[in-house]
Amino acid sequence: MSLMKNLANILVLILIFVSSQSKAQNNALEKVHHVVMQLNTSDTSAWTSVIGNIKNFQKIWPGKVEIEVVVHGKALNFLVADKTHLKNDIESLTQNGIVFSACENTMNKYNITKAMLLNSAKTVPSGVAELILKQEAGWGYLKAGL
């Protein structure tokens, strides 16, 4: 009798655990996720990875993810119209609500004007400050291209 009672208790605990895990996953699918991505490398394979990561987020959380890519330092050409090889991807993702922000400090350093950026690119006064502001607001952080 004691063995049966113990087995029943274990079964109840397993069911509770499985139920709570399922509920946690459902809640993760229902909430809107906020991700800020930092891109500051001239490595174009890292640029391509950023696009891939964004598309993966959109597959996992369709309509439930807000993403801003903050571009600064040597990555600035990612958003310069005549230097990026990802113009079509960036423009398409922007139409789906993804924000690509260029650092004005970096723009000034490399003499890049707003007119030289892709039309869809936004600017922020400081890329690193933008990253901190987003994190302080609860956004998840992902650094691209280590």
How much is the pLDDT for 30? 79
Pick from 49, 68, 72: nearest CA to 140: 68
How much is the pLDDT for 62? 95
* Residues 4-35 pLDDT 10s: 666 666 766 676 766 655 555 555 557 999 99
Q: Please, which pLDDT band fits residue 146 given cuts at 50, 70 and 90?
A: low
Q: Which CATH architecture has domain 31-143?
A: 3-Layer(aba) Sandwich (3.40)
How much is the pLDDT for 88? 96
Pick from 69, 73, 49: nearest CA to 121: 69
The better pLDDT of the pair 42, 9 is held by 42
* Residues 106-140 pLDDT 10s: 999 999 999 999 999 999 999 999 999 999 999 99
Report the C-alpha gap between 118 and 57 in whole angstroms.
23
Tokens of 45: 């394979």
Average model confidence (pLDDT) for the chain?
89
Q: CB-based contacts of 21: which residues, under 8 Å, 6+ apart?
A: none
**Cα angle 74, 76, 81; round to 5:** 140
Buried b (16+ CB within 10 A) or exposed e, 37-70: bbbbbeeeebbeebbebbeebbeebeeebebbbb
Q: What pTM did the predictor assign?
A: 0.80
Between the alpha carbon of residue 25 and those of residues 61, 93, 138, the distances in Å are 12, 26, 19
* Residues 51-109 pLDDT 10s: 999 999 999 999 999 999 999 999 999 999 999 999 999 999 999 999 999 999 999 99
